């Protein structure tokens, strides 16, 4: 992070103008090259060091020439309402634009009413504070409290904007690993079933005709007799509790998920046995694929299974197949 007399800034983002940019307004070049929003353009325009070409401050209507070095510098922000808290973080990837963490189960991503500490955000703010960095906490997506795995945090508005756009376009690949009761009807399949809130319990989601379109792809990785299966899951949409609801809808609830699992499984001999091994839904966000929001590089990140799911897998493999 660098500092001038009036403001603190993130490290600059630099773009080299190519032949197709020749003679175009800077505003148009930035929209075409990095999809910059009007709101962000206004912020850069009004910032003392927001926009420059070849080291000289310019306005959005500046005419660009091939070979020009375009520099964007955004004023640093901080999440002042999030209390820094020391926390062990499993960092999978980090640069000046992104922080990708392997979130443990049992921790929520962002503070909520009455829950101001012991969140991933508290740990990240402490981590940045210790490094002398002033950054606002911007999670691009979230995971349920008891789901482990990869979470992407943008370090500045442009990165958040770009990744959110990829999410909306469906070009971000999200793959999960889970263990379920029973065996799916096919070794590989697609679940297209709309999801909405349950009338009696608005926190609970169910498959219902008037719900939001929801799509989940699954592939059986391992089976343990007819009692349980290991699945690879890929999301087509990202509804709240989607995987948990869809797995239950085909008769294969996630092991450890007391909220969506029928009593016939939780009180069965295998359910009783496995409850001593894992006390949360056996669901892990294992892989993420996306384009880097600034460099355009194809990113493929992976987080290994946590200890409790490895123990569960070991126990399931003792079942006669």
Residues catalogued as catalytic:
144
Q: What b/e sequence results for 26-60 when a residue is b if at least 16 CB atoms lie within 10 Å of its CB, and e otherwise?
A: bbebbbebbebeeebbeebeebebbbbbeeeebeb
Residue 318: CB atoms within 10 A of its CB come to 7
For the purposes of burial, counting CB atoms within 10 Å of the CB of 256, is it exposed (0-12), middle (13-18) or buried (19 or more)? buried
DSSP state, residue 218: E
Pairing of strands 98-103, 283-291: unpaired
Classify strands 91-94 and 138-139 as parallel, antiparallel or unpaired: unpaired
- CA distance linking residue 285 with residue 174, whole number of Å: 7
The bridge status of strand 148-154 relative to strand 283-291 is parallel
Question: Could you give the CA distance from residue 310 to residue 302 in angstroms, rounded to a whole number?
Answer: 16
- Of 188, 236, 189, 186, give the one whose Cα is nearest residue 214: 236
Q: Which residue has the tokens 């909405």?
A: 196
């Amino acid at each position: 992070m660098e500092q001038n007399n009036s403001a603190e800034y993130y490290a600059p983002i630099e773009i080299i103008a190519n032949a197709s940019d020749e003679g175009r307004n800077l505003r148009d070049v930035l929209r075409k090259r990095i999809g910059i929003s009007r709101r962000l353009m206004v912020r850069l325009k009004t910032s003392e060091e927001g926009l420059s070409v070849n080291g000289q401050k310019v306005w959005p209507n500046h005419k660009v020439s091939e070979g020009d070095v375009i520099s964007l510098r955004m004023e640093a922000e901080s999440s002042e309402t999030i209390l820094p808290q020391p926390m062990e973080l499993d960092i999978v990837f980090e640069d000046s634009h992104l922080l990708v963490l392997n979130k443990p189960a049992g921790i929520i991503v962002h503070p909520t009413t009455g829950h101001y500490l012991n969140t991933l955000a508290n740990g990240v703010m402490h981590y940045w504070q210790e490094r002398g960095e002033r950054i606002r906490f911007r999670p691009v997506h979230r995971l349920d409290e008891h789901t482990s795995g990869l979470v992407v945090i943008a370090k500045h508005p442009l990165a958040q904007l770009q990744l959110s756009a990829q999410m909306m376009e469906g070009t971000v690949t999200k793959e999960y690993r889970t263990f379920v009761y029973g065996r799916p009807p096919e070794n590989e399949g697609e679940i297209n079933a709309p999801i909405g809130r349950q009338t009696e319990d608005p926190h609970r989601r169910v498959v219902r005709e008037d719900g939001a379109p929801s799509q989940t792809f699954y592939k059986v990785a391992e089976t343990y007799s007819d009692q349980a299966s290991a699945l690879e899951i890929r999301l087509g949409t990202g509804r709240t509790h989607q995987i948990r609801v869809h797995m239950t809808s085909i008769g294969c609830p996630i092991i450890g998920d007391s909220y969506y699992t029928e009593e016939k499984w939780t009180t069965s001999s295998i359910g009783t046995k496995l409850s001593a091994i894992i006390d949360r839904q056996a669901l892990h966000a294992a892989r993420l694929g996306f384009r880097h929001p600034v460099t355009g590089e194809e990113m493929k990140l992976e987080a290994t299974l946590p200890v409790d799911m490895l123990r569960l897998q070991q126990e399931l493999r003792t079942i006669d197949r």
